[in-house]
Structure 1
Protein backbone atom coordinates (compact mmCIF):
# COMPACT_ATOMS: atom_id res chain seq x y z
CA UNK A 1 0.00 0.00 0.00
CA UNK A 2 2.82 2.37 0.87
CA UNK A 3 4.51 1.67 -2.47
CA UNK A 4 1.27 2.42 -4.30
CA UNK A 5 0.94 5.77 -2.53
CA UNK A 6 4.54 6.69 -3.31
CA UNK A 7 4.12 5.82 -7.00
CA UNK A 8 0.92 7.90 -7.13
CA UNK A 9 2.70 10.89 -5.58
CA UNK A 10 5.60 10.55 -8.00
CA UNK A 11 3.24 10.42 -10.97
CA UNK A 12 1.50 13.59 -9.82
CA UNK A 13 4.77 15.47 -9.30
CA UNK A 14 5.44 17.41 -12.52
CA UNK A 15 9.16 17.84 -11.85
CA UNK A 16 11.79 16.99 -9.23
CA UNK A 17 11.60 18.87 -5.94
CA UNK A 18 14.96 20.56 -6.54
CA UNK A 19 13.84 22.02 -9.88
CA UNK A 20 12.08 25.41 -9.54
CA UNK A 21 8.85 26.00 -11.40
CA UNK A 22 9.32 28.09 -14.57
CA UNK A 23 7.95 31.60 -14.61
CA UNK A 24 4.96 32.50 -16.83
CA UNK A 25 7.32 34.45 -19.11
CA UNK A 26 9.49 31.37 -19.70
CA UNK A 27 6.45 29.21 -20.39
CA UNK A 28 5.11 31.77 -22.87
CA UNK A 29 8.51 32.10 -24.53
CA UNK A 30 8.74 28.32 -24.97
CA UNK A 31 5.23 28.20 -26.42
CA UNK A 32 5.93 30.99 -28.90
CA UNK A 33 9.25 29.43 -29.91
CA UNK A 34 7.57 26.07 -30.45
CA UNK A 35 4.83 27.62 -32.59
CA UNK A 36 7.40 29.47 -34.72
CA UNK A 37 9.52 26.35 -35.24
CA UNK A 38 6.41 24.32 -36.06
CA UNK A 39 5.30 26.93 -38.61
CA UNK A 40 8.74 27.00 -40.22
CA UNK A 41 8.62 23.22 -40.60
CA UNK A 42 5.00 22.78 -41.70
CA UNK A 43 4.65 25.78 -44.03
CA UNK A 44 7.16 24.60 -46.70
CA UNK A 45 5.67 21.10 -46.53
CA UNK A 46 2.15 22.47 -47.11
CA UNK A 47 3.40 24.59 -50.00
CA UNK A 48 4.98 21.57 -51.67
CA UNK A 49 1.87 19.41 -51.22
CA UNK A 50 -0.50 22.25 -52.20
CA UNK A 51 1.43 23.07 -55.36
CA UNK A 52 1.50 19.43 -56.39
CA UNK A 53 -2.30 19.23 -56.00
CA UNK A 54 -3.06 22.50 -57.80
CA UNK A 55 -4.03 22.81 -61.43
CA UNK A 56 -1.57 24.15 -63.96
CA UNK A 57 -3.51 27.37 -64.44
CA UNK A 58 -3.73 28.03 -60.70
CA UNK A 59 0.02 27.51 -60.32
CA UNK A 60 0.66 30.01 -63.13
CA UNK A 61 -1.79 32.57 -61.68
CA UNK A 62 -0.26 32.33 -58.18
CA UNK A 63 3.29 32.83 -59.41
CA UNK A 64 4.46 29.24 -59.13
CA UNK A 65 3.49 28.36 -55.54
CA UNK A 66 0.12 27.39 -54.05
CA UNK A 67 -0.49 26.97 -50.33
CA UNK A 68 -4.10 25.83 -50.49
CA UNK A 69 -5.44 24.84 -53.93
CA UNK A 70 -9.01 25.84 -54.69
CA UNK A 71 -9.61 22.59 -56.56
CA UNK A 72 -7.73 19.33 -56.05
CA UNK A 73 -6.09 18.39 -59.34
CA UNK A 74 -4.23 15.08 -59.58
CA UNK A 75 -3.04 15.56 -63.14
CA UNK A 76 0.58 16.02 -62.04
CA UNK A 77 0.56 12.67 -60.21
CA UNK A 78 -1.19 11.00 -63.13
CA UNK A 79 1.53 12.24 -65.47
CA UNK A 80 4.49 11.07 -63.39
CA UNK A 81 2.88 7.73 -62.43
CA UNK A 82 1.62 6.70 -65.86
CA UNK A 83 4.47 4.28 -66.48
CA UNK A 84 7.26 6.66 -67.43
CA UNK A 85 10.63 7.62 -66.01
CA UNK A 86 9.41 8.41 -62.48
CA UNK A 87 7.65 5.06 -62.06
CA UNK A 88 10.72 3.15 -63.18
CA UNK A 89 13.01 5.30 -61.00
CA UNK A 90 10.75 4.73 -57.98
CA UNK A 91 11.00 0.97 -58.43
CA UNK A 92 14.79 1.25 -58.75
CA UNK A 93 15.04 3.31 -55.55
CA UNK A 94 12.79 0.91 -53.66
CA UNK A 95 14.81 -2.09 -54.80
CA UNK A 96 18.16 -0.51 -53.96
CA UNK A 97 16.87 0.70 -50.57
CA UNK A 98 15.39 -2.65 -49.51
CA UNK A 99 18.32 -4.72 -50.77
CA UNK A 100 20.96 -2.33 -49.43
CA UNK A 101 19.32 -1.98 -46.03
CA UNK A 102 19.01 -5.74 -45.57
CA UNK A 103 22.59 -6.41 -46.68
CA UNK A 104 23.96 -3.56 -44.54
CA UNK A 105 22.02 -4.67 -41.46
CA UNK A 106 23.15 -8.29 -41.77
CA UNK A 107 26.78 -7.30 -42.27
CA UNK A 108 26.79 -4.61 -39.57
CA UNK A 109 25.05 -6.79 -36.98
CA UNK A 110 27.40 -9.73 -37.57
CA UNK A 111 30.50 -7.54 -37.48
CA UNK A 112 29.34 -5.57 -34.42
CA UNK A 113 28.55 -8.74 -32.48
CA UNK A 114 31.96 -10.22 -33.33
CA UNK A 115 33.79 -7.05 -32.26
CA UNK A 116 31.78 -6.94 -29.03
CA UNK A 117 33.02 -10.37 -27.95
CA UNK A 118 36.19 -10.32 -25.84
CA UNK A 119 39.13 -12.34 -27.05
CA UNK A 120 38.33 -12.03 -30.75
CA UNK A 121 41.45 -12.68 -32.82
CA UNK A 122 42.36 -9.45 -34.63
CA UNK A 123 39.45 -7.60 -33.06
CA UNK A 124 41.51 -4.65 -31.84
CA UNK A 125 43.16 -3.87 -35.23
CA UNK A 126 39.81 -4.17 -37.00
CA UNK A 127 38.23 -1.80 -34.48
CA UNK A 128 41.07 0.68 -35.03
CA UNK A 129 40.46 0.54 -38.79
CA UNK A 130 36.78 1.26 -38.19
CA UNK A 131 37.64 4.26 -36.01
CA UNK A 132 40.04 5.57 -38.66
CA UNK A 133 37.13 5.90 -41.08
CA UNK A 134 35.89 8.79 -38.92
CA UNK A 135 39.15 10.66 -39.53
CA UNK A 136 40.06 9.77 -43.11
CA UNK A 137 37.60 9.66 -45.98
CA UNK A 138 38.55 7.55 -49.02
CA UNK A 139 37.65 10.32 -51.44
CA UNK A 140 35.76 10.25 -54.69
CA UNK A 141 38.58 9.29 -57.08
CA UNK A 142 40.00 6.35 -55.04
CA UNK A 143 36.48 5.03 -54.48
CA UNK A 144 35.72 5.28 -58.20
CA UNK A 145 38.94 3.45 -59.06
CA UNK A 146 38.12 0.65 -56.62
CA UNK A 147 34.60 0.30 -58.03
CA UNK A 148 36.03 0.27 -61.56
CA UNK A 149 38.67 -2.33 -60.72
CA UNK A 150 36.00 -4.60 -59.24
CA UNK A 151 33.92 -4.36 -62.41
CA UNK A 152 30.95 -2.78 -60.66
CA UNK A 153 30.47 0.19 -63.00
CA UNK A 154 27.04 0.21 -64.57
CA UNK A 155 25.54 -2.12 -61.94
CA UNK A 156 23.36 -1.51 -58.91
CA UNK A 157 25.98 -3.20 -56.73
CA UNK A 158 28.05 -0.02 -57.09
CA UNK A 159 25.35 1.82 -55.10
CA UNK A 160 25.46 -0.69 -52.22
CA UNK A 161 28.86 -2.32 -51.74
CA UNK A 162 30.99 0.88 -51.28
CA UNK A 163 28.71 2.01 -48.41
CA UNK A 164 27.74 -1.40 -47.09
CA UNK A 165 28.97 -0.77 -43.52
CA UNK A 166 28.87 2.55 -41.68
CA UNK A 167 31.43 3.04 -38.92
CA UNK A 168 29.00 5.01 -36.76
CA UNK A 169 26.24 2.39 -37.03
CA UNK A 170 28.77 -0.35 -36.31
CA UNK A 171 29.91 1.33 -33.09
CA UNK A 172 26.31 1.91 -31.96
CA UNK A 173 25.45 -1.77 -32.33
CA UNK A 174 28.75 -2.87 -30.79
CA UNK A 175 28.07 -0.74 -27.73
CA UNK A 176 24.59 -2.18 -27.45
CA UNK A 177 25.85 -5.77 -27.64
CA UNK A 178 28.49 -5.00 -25.02
CA UNK A 179 25.78 -3.70 -22.70
CA UNK A 180 24.01 -7.04 -22.57
CA UNK A 181 24.90 -8.84 -19.32
CA UNK A 182 27.70 -11.35 -19.82
CA UNK A 183 25.83 -13.83 -17.63
CA UNK A 184 23.29 -14.36 -20.41
CA UNK A 185 26.06 -15.31 -22.84
CA UNK A 186 27.68 -17.62 -20.31
CA UNK A 187 24.39 -19.37 -19.50
CA UNK A 188 23.75 -19.97 -23.20
CA UNK A 189 27.24 -21.40 -23.68
CA UNK A 190 26.73 -23.74 -20.73
CA UNK A 191 23.56 -24.98 -22.42
CA UNK A 192 25.61 -25.76 -25.53
CA UNK A 193 24.51 -22.87 -27.74
CA UNK A 194 26.86 -21.76 -30.51
CA UNK A 195 27.84 -18.14 -31.09
CA UNK A 196 25.43 -17.88 -34.01
CA UNK A 197 22.57 -19.17 -31.87
CA UNK A 198 23.51 -16.82 -29.03
CA UNK A 199 23.50 -13.87 -31.39
CA UNK A 200 20.15 -14.78 -32.96
CA UNK A 201 18.31 -15.90 -29.82
CA UNK A 202 19.76 -13.52 -27.20
CA UNK A 203 21.61 -10.53 -28.65
CA UNK A 204 19.23 -9.62 -31.47
CA UNK A 205 15.94 -9.73 -29.48
CA UNK A 206 17.49 -7.55 -26.77
CA UNK A 207 18.80 -5.04 -29.33
CA UNK A 208 15.65 -4.36 -31.34
CA UNK A 209 15.74 -0.63 -30.58
CA UNK A 210 19.30 -0.15 -31.80
CA UNK A 211 18.76 -2.34 -34.87
CA UNK A 212 15.62 -0.40 -35.78
CA UNK A 213 17.51 2.91 -35.57
CA UNK A 214 20.46 1.60 -37.59
CA UNK A 215 18.06 0.21 -40.18
CA UNK A 216 16.40 3.62 -40.45
CA UNK A 217 19.79 5.28 -40.92
CA UNK A 218 20.70 2.87 -43.71
CA UNK A 219 17.30 3.12 -45.41
CA UNK A 220 17.32 6.93 -45.44
CA UNK A 221 20.89 6.98 -46.77
CA UNK A 222 20.10 4.55 -49.61
CA UNK A 223 16.83 6.27 -50.48
CA UNK A 224 18.34 9.77 -50.59
CA UNK A 225 21.55 8.81 -52.39
CA UNK A 226 21.90 10.30 -55.87
CA UNK A 227 25.56 11.22 -56.43
CA UNK A 228 26.68 7.58 -56.52
CA UNK A 229 24.14 6.85 -59.24
CA UNK A 230 25.35 9.77 -61.34
CA UNK A 231 28.95 8.64 -60.84
CA UNK A 232 28.61 4.90 -61.42
CA UNK A 233 25.55 4.48 -63.67
CA UNK A 234 26.03 5.76 -67.21
CA UNK A 235 22.64 4.45 -68.39
CA UNK A 236 19.98 7.00 -67.43
CA UNK A 237 17.29 4.31 -67.51
CA UNK A 238 18.91 2.78 -64.40
CA UNK A 239 18.89 5.99 -62.38
CA UNK A 240 16.98 6.02 -59.06
CA UNK A 241 14.25 8.46 -58.09
CA UNK A 242 16.53 11.01 -56.46
CA UNK A 243 18.46 11.59 -59.69
CA UNK A 244 15.21 12.08 -61.59
CA UNK A 245 14.06 14.44 -58.83
CA UNK A 246 17.27 16.42 -59.25
CA UNK A 247 16.63 16.69 -62.99
CA UNK A 248 13.12 17.98 -62.38
CA UNK A 249 13.84 20.44 -59.57
CA UNK A 250 17.33 21.77 -60.27
CA UNK A 251 17.58 21.58 -64.04
CA UNK A 252 13.91 22.24 -64.75
CA UNK A 253 13.51 19.38 -67.20
CA UNK A 254 12.87 15.66 -66.88
CA UNK A 255 14.94 12.93 -68.41
CA UNK A 256 14.53 11.89 -71.99
CA UNK A 257 11.48 9.72 -72.44
CA UNK A 258 9.46 11.35 -69.69
CA UNK A 259 5.72 11.26 -70.07
CA UNK A 260 5.43 15.00 -69.38
CA UNK A 261 4.68 16.87 -72.58
CA UNK A 262 6.62 19.87 -73.77
CA UNK A 263 3.58 22.10 -73.26
CA UNK A 264 3.22 21.08 -69.62
CA UNK A 265 6.92 21.63 -68.97
CA UNK A 266 6.73 25.14 -70.36
CA UNK A 267 3.42 26.21 -68.80
CA UNK A 268 3.54 24.78 -65.28
CA UNK A 269 6.56 22.64 -64.47
CA UNK A 270 6.36 23.44 -60.77
CA UNK A 271 3.34 21.22 -60.11
CA UNK A 272 5.13 18.21 -61.61
CA UNK A 273 8.32 19.03 -59.73
CA UNK A 274 6.49 19.20 -56.40
CA UNK A 275 4.62 15.98 -57.18
CA UNK A 276 7.96 14.21 -57.61
CA UNK A 277 9.19 15.74 -54.32
CA UNK A 278 6.09 14.46 -52.51
CA UNK A 279 6.56 11.03 -54.07
CA UNK A 280 10.15 10.95 -52.83
CA UNK A 281 9.09 11.91 -49.28
CA UNK A 282 6.25 9.41 -48.87
CA UNK A 283 8.30 6.27 -48.00
CA UNK A 284 10.34 7.95 -45.26
CA UNK A 285 7.28 9.75 -43.85
CA UNK A 286 5.42 6.43 -43.68
CA UNK A 287 8.26 4.45 -42.10
CA UNK A 288 9.62 6.99 -39.60
CA UNK A 289 6.60 7.06 -37.19
CA UNK A 290 6.99 3.32 -36.55
CA UNK A 291 10.73 3.65 -35.79
CA UNK A 292 10.68 7.01 -34.01
CA UNK A 293 9.94 5.52 -30.58
CA UNK A 294 13.18 3.52 -30.81
CA UNK A 295 15.21 6.44 -32.15
CA UNK A 296 16.37 8.24 -28.99
CA UNK A 297 16.65 5.04 -26.95
CA UNK A 298 18.74 3.24 -29.54
CA UNK A 299 21.15 6.05 -30.33
CA UNK A 300 21.69 7.30 -26.78
CA UNK A 301 22.08 3.84 -25.26
CA UNK A 302 24.47 2.69 -27.94
CA UNK A 303 26.53 5.87 -27.75
CA UNK A 304 26.80 5.78 -23.95
CA UNK A 305 27.83 2.11 -23.90
CA UNK A 306 30.41 2.64 -26.64
Structure 2
Protein backbone atom coordinates (compact mmCIF):
# COMPACT_ATOMS: atom_id res chain seq x y z
CA UNK A 1 0.00 0.00 0.00
CA UNK A 2 1.40 3.38 -1.07
CA UNK A 3 1.23 5.82 1.86
CA UNK A 4 3.02 8.70 0.13
CA UNK A 5 1.29 12.04 0.05
CA UNK A 6 0.87 14.09 -3.09
CA UNK A 7 3.72 16.43 -2.13
CA UNK A 8 6.05 13.47 -1.54
CA UNK A 9 5.16 12.01 -4.93
CA UNK A 10 5.86 15.38 -6.59
CA UNK A 11 9.17 15.64 -4.73
CA UNK A 12 10.17 12.10 -5.79
CA UNK A 13 9.26 12.90 -9.39
CA UNK A 14 11.40 16.05 -9.33
CA UNK A 15 14.33 14.17 -7.81
CA UNK A 16 14.14 11.45 -10.46
CA UNK A 17 13.86 14.05 -13.20
CA UNK A 18 16.93 15.93 -11.97
CA UNK A 19 18.91 12.69 -11.61
CA UNK A 20 17.90 11.65 -15.13
CA UNK A 21 19.11 15.01 -16.49
CA UNK A 22 22.38 14.67 -14.60
CA UNK A 23 22.88 11.18 -16.02
CA UNK A 24 22.27 12.45 -19.54
CA UNK A 25 24.70 15.34 -19.04
CA UNK A 26 27.38 13.00 -17.67
CA UNK A 27 26.90 10.07 -20.04
CA UNK A 28 26.35 11.88 -23.36
CA UNK A 29 29.98 13.09 -23.73
CA UNK A 30 31.17 9.51 -23.19
CA UNK A 31 28.64 8.21 -25.69
CA UNK A 32 29.60 10.89 -28.22
CA UNK A 33 33.31 10.06 -27.95
CA UNK A 34 32.55 6.35 -28.40
CA UNK A 35 30.34 7.02 -31.43
CA UNK A 36 32.83 9.50 -32.91
CA UNK A 37 35.66 6.99 -32.61
CA UNK A 38 33.81 4.70 -35.05
CA UNK A 39 32.51 7.43 -37.34
CA UNK A 40 33.98 9.13 -40.36
CA UNK A 41 36.15 12.08 -39.20
CA UNK A 42 34.62 14.26 -41.91
CA UNK A 43 31.12 13.58 -40.55
CA UNK A 44 32.25 14.33 -37.01
CA UNK A 45 33.85 17.65 -37.98
CA UNK A 46 30.73 18.63 -39.94
CA UNK A 47 28.62 18.01 -36.82
CA UNK A 48 26.62 15.18 -38.37
CA UNK A 49 27.31 12.68 -35.58
CA UNK A 50 25.09 12.73 -32.52
CA UNK A 51 23.93 9.38 -31.14
CA UNK A 52 24.83 6.88 -33.85
CA UNK A 53 27.98 6.25 -35.92
CA UNK A 54 28.00 7.54 -39.47
CA UNK A 55 30.14 5.98 -42.20
CA UNK A 56 31.72 3.52 -39.76
CA UNK A 57 35.50 3.37 -39.97
CA UNK A 58 38.22 1.69 -37.90
CA UNK A 59 41.04 3.95 -39.02
CA UNK A 60 41.55 5.48 -35.59
CA UNK A 61 41.95 2.13 -33.84
CA UNK A 62 44.13 0.75 -36.67
CA UNK A 63 46.50 3.71 -36.38
CA UNK A 64 46.68 3.29 -32.60
CA UNK A 65 47.68 -0.38 -32.70
CA UNK A 66 50.16 0.32 -35.50
CA UNK A 67 51.86 3.01 -33.41
CA UNK A 68 54.60 1.50 -31.25
CA UNK A 69 54.84 4.61 -29.06
CA UNK A 70 51.17 4.46 -28.09
CA UNK A 71 51.45 0.75 -27.30
CA UNK A 72 54.59 1.28 -25.18
CA UNK A 73 52.85 4.20 -23.43
CA UNK A 74 49.89 1.93 -22.71
CA UNK A 75 52.13 -0.71 -21.16
CA UNK A 76 54.01 1.95 -19.18
CA UNK A 77 50.77 3.35 -17.81
CA UNK A 78 49.61 -0.11 -16.74
CA UNK A 79 52.92 -0.71 -14.97
CA UNK A 80 52.92 2.70 -13.27
CA UNK A 81 49.32 2.21 -12.16
CA UNK A 82 49.78 -1.31 -10.76
CA UNK A 83 53.06 -0.60 -8.96
CA UNK A 84 51.96 2.85 -7.77
CA UNK A 85 48.60 1.64 -6.46
CA UNK A 86 50.25 -1.24 -4.59
CA UNK A 87 52.71 1.13 -2.91
CA UNK A 88 49.92 3.59 -2.12
CA UNK A 89 47.84 0.90 -0.43
CA UNK A 90 50.74 -0.39 1.67
CA UNK A 91 51.70 3.11 2.79
CA UNK A 92 48.11 4.13 3.52
CA UNK A 93 47.40 1.04 5.61
CA UNK A 94 50.73 1.41 7.43
CA UNK A 95 49.82 4.98 8.39
CA UNK A 96 46.06 4.61 8.96
CA UNK A 97 46.11 1.54 11.21
CA UNK A 98 48.37 2.98 13.97
CA UNK A 99 46.44 6.25 13.88
CA UNK A 100 43.21 4.34 14.45
CA UNK A 101 44.50 2.55 17.56
CA UNK A 102 43.39 4.01 20.88
CA UNK A 103 46.54 2.74 22.58
CA UNK A 104 48.85 4.63 20.20
CA UNK A 105 49.96 7.69 22.15
CA UNK A 106 50.50 10.89 20.20
CA UNK A 107 48.29 9.81 17.32
CA UNK A 108 46.33 13.07 17.33
CA UNK A 109 49.52 15.12 17.13
CA UNK A 110 50.82 13.02 14.25
CA UNK A 111 47.47 13.27 12.46
CA UNK A 112 47.52 17.07 12.90
CA UNK A 113 51.02 17.25 11.43
CA UNK A 114 49.89 15.19 8.45
CA UNK A 115 46.83 17.40 7.91
CA UNK A 116 49.13 20.43 7.98
CA UNK A 117 50.82 19.15 4.80
CA UNK A 118 47.47 19.26 3.01
CA UNK A 119 47.43 23.07 3.26
CA UNK A 120 51.13 23.87 2.91
CA UNK A 121 53.61 22.20 0.58
CA UNK A 122 57.15 22.88 -0.56
CA UNK A 123 56.11 23.74 -4.11
CA UNK A 124 57.05 22.41 -7.51
CA UNK A 125 60.67 23.64 -7.67
CA UNK A 126 61.78 22.23 -4.28
CA UNK A 127 60.03 18.98 -5.13
CA UNK A 128 61.85 18.79 -8.47
CA UNK A 129 65.21 19.46 -6.78
CA UNK A 130 64.46 16.76 -4.20
CA UNK A 131 63.60 14.22 -6.90
CA UNK A 132 66.78 15.19 -8.76
CA UNK A 133 68.98 14.86 -5.67
CA UNK A 134 67.49 11.44 -4.95
CA UNK A 135 68.49 10.30 -8.44
CA UNK A 136 64.96 9.52 -9.55
CA UNK A 137 64.81 11.77 -12.62
CA UNK A 138 63.79 9.99 -15.82
CA UNK A 139 62.68 6.89 -13.89
CA UNK A 140 59.42 5.25 -12.91
CA UNK A 141 59.99 6.11 -9.25
CA UNK A 142 59.77 9.84 -9.93
CA UNK A 143 56.09 9.29 -10.77
CA UNK A 144 55.35 7.03 -7.79
CA UNK A 145 57.45 7.87 -4.72
CA UNK A 146 56.60 11.61 -4.36
CA UNK A 147 52.88 10.74 -4.29
CA UNK A 148 53.17 7.48 -2.36
CA UNK A 149 51.12 8.88 0.53
CA UNK A 150 47.81 10.74 0.31
CA UNK A 151 46.85 12.30 3.64
CA UNK A 152 43.22 12.60 2.57
CA UNK A 153 42.98 8.88 1.82
CA UNK A 154 44.82 8.00 5.03
CA UNK A 155 42.24 9.93 7.05
CA UNK A 156 39.39 8.17 5.26
CA UNK A 157 40.96 4.78 5.92
CA UNK A 158 41.70 5.67 9.56
CA UNK A 159 38.07 6.66 10.08
CA UNK A 160 36.95 3.35 8.59
CA UNK A 161 39.23 1.40 10.91
CA UNK A 162 37.88 3.34 13.90
CA UNK A 163 34.17 3.09 13.09
CA UNK A 164 33.82 0.09 10.80
CA UNK A 165 35.72 -2.43 12.92
CA UNK A 166 34.85 -2.82 16.63
CA UNK A 167 37.88 -2.15 18.79
CA UNK A 168 36.80 -5.01 21.05
CA UNK A 169 37.67 -7.46 18.26
CA UNK A 170 41.23 -6.14 18.22
CA UNK A 171 41.44 -6.38 22.00
CA UNK A 172 40.17 -9.96 21.90
CA UNK A 173 42.80 -10.82 19.27
CA UNK A 174 45.46 -9.26 21.48
CA UNK A 175 44.32 -11.33 24.46
CA UNK A 176 44.54 -14.45 22.30
CA UNK A 177 48.18 -13.66 21.62
CA UNK A 178 48.05 -11.79 18.31
CA UNK A 179 50.66 -9.12 17.75
CA UNK A 180 49.73 -5.81 16.15
CA UNK A 181 50.85 -7.12 12.76
CA UNK A 182 48.85 -10.32 13.16
CA UNK A 183 45.79 -8.32 14.19
CA UNK A 184 46.16 -6.14 11.13
CA UNK A 185 46.63 -9.04 8.72
CA UNK A 186 44.10 -11.48 10.21
CA UNK A 187 41.39 -9.23 11.64
CA UNK A 188 41.48 -5.70 10.25
CA UNK A 189 42.33 -6.15 6.57
CA UNK A 190 39.86 -9.02 5.89
CA UNK A 191 37.08 -6.81 7.29
CA UNK A 192 38.24 -3.74 5.36
CA UNK A 193 37.48 -4.76 1.79
CA UNK A 194 35.05 -1.85 1.23
CA UNK A 195 37.62 0.84 2.05
CA UNK A 196 40.41 -1.06 0.28
CA UNK A 197 38.26 -1.17 -2.85
CA UNK A 198 37.67 2.57 -2.59
CA UNK A 199 41.40 3.21 -2.18
CA UNK A 200 42.24 1.00 -5.17
CA UNK A 201 39.80 2.96 -7.30
CA UNK A 202 41.00 6.37 -6.08
CA UNK A 203 44.70 5.58 -6.46
CA UNK A 204 44.44 3.70 -9.75
CA UNK A 205 42.40 6.45 -11.41
CA UNK A 206 44.91 9.02 -10.18
CA UNK A 207 47.88 7.09 -11.58
CA UNK A 208 46.11 6.26 -14.82
CA UNK A 209 45.21 9.88 -15.58
CA UNK A 210 48.48 11.43 -14.35
CA UNK A 211 50.59 13.19 -16.95
CA UNK A 212 52.04 16.33 -15.31
CA UNK A 213 54.66 14.49 -13.25
CA UNK A 214 55.75 12.56 -16.34
CA UNK A 215 55.94 15.81 -18.28
CA UNK A 216 58.31 17.25 -15.66
CA UNK A 217 60.47 14.27 -14.69
CA UNK A 218 60.70 12.06 -17.80
CA UNK A 219 62.86 12.74 -20.85
CA UNK A 220 62.97 9.36 -22.64
CA UNK A 221 59.95 8.80 -24.84
CA UNK A 222 60.07 5.05 -24.26
CA UNK A 223 59.16 5.77 -20.59
CA UNK A 224 56.25 8.10 -21.38
CA UNK A 225 52.80 7.07 -20.09
CA UNK A 226 49.85 6.93 -22.44
CA UNK A 227 48.48 10.27 -21.24
CA UNK A 228 51.52 12.16 -22.56
CA UNK A 229 51.02 10.73 -26.04
CA UNK A 230 47.32 11.58 -25.82
CA UNK A 231 48.30 15.13 -24.87
CA UNK A 232 50.60 15.35 -27.89
CA UNK A 233 47.84 14.14 -30.20
CA UNK A 234 45.40 16.73 -28.86
CA UNK A 235 47.95 19.58 -29.14
CA UNK A 236 48.94 18.58 -32.67
CA UNK A 237 45.30 18.43 -33.70
CA UNK A 238 44.66 21.91 -32.29
CA UNK A 239 47.73 23.30 -34.04
CA UNK A 240 46.66 21.83 -37.38
CA UNK A 241 43.20 23.36 -36.97
CA UNK A 242 44.73 26.76 -36.20
CA UNK A 243 47.12 26.63 -39.18
CA UNK A 244 44.44 25.45 -41.55
CA UNK A 245 44.42 22.61 -44.03
CA UNK A 246 46.39 22.72 -47.26
CA UNK A 247 46.55 19.97 -49.88
CA UNK A 248 44.66 16.67 -49.90
CA UNK A 249 47.48 14.78 -48.16
CA UNK A 250 47.51 17.22 -45.27
CA UNK A 251 43.72 17.11 -45.09
CA UNK A 252 43.85 13.31 -44.86
CA UNK A 253 46.37 13.55 -42.02
CA UNK A 254 44.11 15.97 -40.16
CA UNK A 255 41.11 13.66 -40.62
CA UNK A 256 43.05 10.66 -39.36
CA UNK A 257 44.26 12.73 -36.42
CA UNK A 258 40.66 13.40 -35.45
CA UNK A 259 39.83 9.69 -35.60
CA UNK A 260 42.93 8.81 -33.56
CA UNK A 261 42.04 11.44 -30.94
CA UNK A 262 38.66 9.90 -30.16
CA UNK A 263 39.92 6.33 -30.39
CA UNK A 264 42.79 7.00 -27.97
CA UNK A 265 40.37 8.48 -25.42
CA UNK A 266 38.28 5.30 -25.54
CA UNK A 267 41.29 3.00 -25.33
CA UNK A 268 42.83 5.06 -22.52
CA UNK A 269 39.70 4.97 -20.34
CA UNK A 270 38.62 1.39 -21.04
CA UNK A 271 40.61 -0.29 -18.21
CA UNK A 272 39.21 2.08 -15.56
CA UNK A 273 35.68 1.62 -16.88
CA UNK A 274 36.20 -2.15 -16.67
CA UNK A 275 37.61 -1.92 -13.13
CA UNK A 276 34.70 -0.04 -11.56
CA UNK A 277 31.99 -2.76 -11.86
CA UNK A 278 34.12 -5.17 -9.81
CA UNK A 279 34.54 -2.59 -7.02
CA UNK A 280 31.07 -1.04 -7.14
CA UNK A 281 29.53 -3.20 -4.39
CA UNK A 282 32.21 -2.03 -1.95
CA UNK A 283 32.48 1.55 -3.16
CA UNK A 284 29.44 3.20 -1.57
CA UNK A 285 29.83 1.44 1.77
CA UNK A 286 33.52 2.29 1.99
CA UNK A 287 33.05 5.97 1.20
CA UNK A 288 30.11 6.42 3.58
CA UNK A 289 31.74 4.69 6.54
CA UNK A 290 35.15 6.18 5.89
CA UNK A 291 34.11 9.77 5.27
CA UNK A 292 30.89 10.50 7.18
CA UNK A 293 31.38 8.93 10.59
CA UNK A 294 33.95 10.26 13.02
Residue in 1 that maps onto 2:173: 188
Q: Is the 8 A contact 1:57 1:268 kept in 2?
A: no
Q: Is the 8 A contact 2:211 2:227 kept in 1?
A: yes
- What is the alpha-carbon distance in structure 2 between the residues aligned to residue 245 and residue 57 of structure 1? 21
Residue segments in structure 1 that go unaligned for 5+ positions in a row: 1-11, 255-260
Q: Is the 8 A contact 1:51 1:270 kept in 2?
A: no
Q: Is the 8 A contact 1:212 1:291 kept in 2?
A: yes
- 1:56 is displaced (CA, Å) by 4.1
Residue in 2 that maps onto 1:216: 201
Of 124, 133, 136, 2:117 maps to 133
In the superposition, relative to structure 1, how do residues 304 and 239 fare at CA in structure 2: closer, same or farther (>3 Å)? Answer: same
- What is the alpha-carbon distance in structure 2 between the residues aligned to residue 66 and residue 92 of structure 1? 34
Using the size of structure 2 for normalisation, the TM-score is 0.87
Q: Deviations over 1:127-181 (max 9, x none)?
A: 2221112221332112111111111110010000000010011011111122222
Q: How many residues align?
A: 284
Residue in 2 that maps onto 1:5: none
Q: Is the 8 A contact 2:237 2:254 kept in 1?
A: no
- Structure 1 window deviating more from structure 2 (219-228 vs 135-144): it is 135-144
Of 115, 121, 140, 1:156 maps to 140
Deviation above 6 Å: which 4+ runs of structure 1? 12-15
Give yes or no for the alignment of 1:286 onto 2:274.
yes
The RMSD of aligned alpha carbons is 2.5
- 1:121 is displaced (CA, Å) by 5.5
Q: Is the 8 A contact 1:64 1:270 kept in 2?
A: no
| Alignment map for 1:33-72 (pairs within 5 Å) | 33-59=18-44, 62-63=46-47, 67-72=51-56
Q: Is the 8 A contact 1:178 1:305 kept in 2?
A: no
Q: Deviations over 1:28-83 (max 9, x none)?
A: 433433332222222211211111111345445x3585642234322211110125
- What is the alpha-carbon distance in structure 2 between the residues aligned to residue 304 and residue 242 of structure 1? 33
Using the size of structure 1 for normalisation, the TM-score is 0.84
In the superposition, relative to structure 1, how do residues 146 and 55 fare at CA in structure 2: closer, same or farther (>3 Å)? Answer: same
Residue in 2 that maps onto 1:197: 182
SS state at 1:76 partner: helix
Residue segments in structure 2 that go unaligned for 5+ positions in a row: 240-248
Of 271, 284, 289, 1:296 maps to 284
Q: Is the 8 A contact 1:247 1:253 kept in 2?
A: no
SS state at 1:134 partner: helix
Give yes or no for the alignment of 1:76 onto 2:60.
yes
- What is the alpha-carbon distance in structure 2 between the residues aligned to residue 153 and residue 64 of structure 1? 46
Is the helix fraction higher in 1 or 2? 2
Of 218, 232, 235, 1:250 maps to 235
- What is the alpha-carbon distance in structure 1 between the residues aligned to residue 102 and residue 283 of structure 2? 28
Q: Is the 8 A contact 1:92 1:240 kept in 2?
A: yes
- What is the alpha-carbon distance in structure 1 between the residues aligned to residue 134 and residue 77 of structure 2? 23
- Structure 1 window deviating more from structure 2 (63-72 vs 107-116): it is 63-72
| Alignment map for 1:219-230 (pairs within 5 Å) | 219-230=204-215
Q: Is the 8 A contact 1:51 1:67 kept in 2?
A: no
Give yes or no for the alignment of 1:110 onto 2:98.
no
Q: Is the 8 A contact 2:59 2:259 kept in 1?
A: no
Residue in 2 that maps onto 1:146: 130
- Structure 1 window deviating more from structure 2 (160-169 vs 287-296): it is 287-296
